[in-house]
Amino acid sequence: MKLRLRIKRREEPKRIEIERILAQPSVARFEIKPKKAIKLIPKPTPPKVESGTKAVSVETQFAPELGAVLLQLAKLGAGAREEKPKEIEGIEIPKIAADVKLPEFEEEELRRMSIRYPLIPRSGRPRTFAEAYIYFDERTHEFVYEVVEPQLTSANQKLLARIKEFIQEKVDVDFTKLRKGEAIKYLANLFEDALSYFKVRKSKEIEEVMKYYIYRDFLGLERIEPLLHDPNLEDISCDGVGIPIYVYHKDPRFGSMRTNVKFDSREELDGFVMRLAERCGKTISLASPLLDGTL
């Protein structure tokens, strides 16, 4: 199964309009070739022949005028001066130097480059739960985009999975119809109920990390949610199970990059696609395997 998401930022309405126009076959491709002007010369009308007179040919009719023209040309002679073409004033186009080149990034400079910036939240809070880390991979000789999230121990991961199952069974509302603050408060109460049900308590830091993953998976788009918070990304594409998700960065130095995000099983990817279709208010099946929607 292949999934491709196209992110279109709201601050670029002109670009979206252009894409819509180019999508129309009638105006997508056209070619204009200027045609050479043709001057039409009317054919002379032969003179009428009166009854009782001998028919006169066209050449004979115009013989006197033709003789006068030949006589005039003979007087001018073969060395008659030709009319000089008129000179038209214009602007001088400067010559462009052939050795002018666009600035290029030094390879060594790119190899040493690494960028790290917050994703969730982007600002306003002391704790950052998701970050973007871009660096040059010496082994593959390409830039890599990594999503850095807080790690949990194996025991805490199992507990988090049990808490998610508990919340999934207790949820009886449609999050799309709730405000973000109301949905977060609702999930926070269910998280406390789950801890009470399993009779466990963790440190405040670990519980905050667990809440982050619960909010990310129930209110967001799970593992690709941090990517959606990066305003520098234009494309997010997934080509199948076990294949890293690729992103396209606005910075021309980076362009298309491999990420550390991927779907490990077909069931996981299929479930994500179904949830994504539900978020768009549409359905996807074998009969209609293509989906075009807005989040």
Rounded Cα gap, residues 264 and 19, in angstroms: 34
Considering the domain architecture, whether residues 211 and 200 belong to the same structural domain is answered as: yes
pLDDT tens figures, 61-120: 445 555 555 556 556 655 555 556 666 665 565 554 445 444 455 667 777 888 999 998
Considering the domain architecture, whether residues 169 and 205 belong to the same structural domain is answered as: yes
Residue that terminates a domain, selected from 219, 239, 272: 219
Rounded Cα gap, residues 27 and 30, in angstroms: 7
The set of residues, in sequence order, having a beta carbon less than 8 Å from that of 159 and lying 6+ positions away, is 198, 200, 202, 210
Considering the domain architecture, whether residues 264 and 161 belong to the same structural domain is answered as: no
Q: Is 253 in contact with 145 (CB distance < 8 Å)?
A: no
Rounded Cα gap, residues 136 and 144, in angstroms: 6
Rounded Cα gap, residues 267 and 275, in angstroms: 12
Q: Is 260 in contact with 34 (CB distance < 8 Å)?
A: no
pLDDT tens figures, 118-158: 998 866 567 889 999 999 998 999 999 999 999 999 999 99
> Which CATH number do you get for residue 132?
3.30.450.370
pTM listed for this prediction: 0.63
Considering the domain architecture, whether residues 243 and 268 belong to the same structural domain is answered as: yes
Domain that includes residue 171, residue range: 154-219
pLDDT tens figures, 188-215: 999 999 999 999 999 999 999 999 999 9
